[in-house]
Amino acid sequence: MRAYTLSLLALMALSACNSETPETEDTTSVPAAEVLPSPDPALAASPDSEIPEALRGRWGLVPADCEPGRDDAKGLLTITETKLEFYESVGTLEGIEEFDPSRIRASFNFTGEGQEWERDVVLDAQDQGKTLIRREYGEDAAPGPFRYTKCS
Domain ranges within the chain, ordered by starting residue:
43-150
Is CATH 2.40.128 correct for 43-150? yes
35-67: per-residue pLDDT in tens? Answer: 333 344 444 445 568 999 999 999 999 999 999
15 or 134: whose pLDDT is higher? 134
* 12: pLDDT strictly greater than 90: no
User: 17-26, 45-54, 89-98: which range is least confident on average?
Assistant: 17-26
pLDDT digits (tens, 9 = 90+) for 106-152: 999 999 999 999 999 999 999 999 999 999 998 889 888 999 999 98
Q: Which residues contact 90 (CB under 8 A, 6 or more apart)?
A: 83, 84, 110, 111, 112
Spatial CB neighbours of 75, under 8 Å, sequence gap ≥ 6: 60, 61, 62, 65, 87, 148
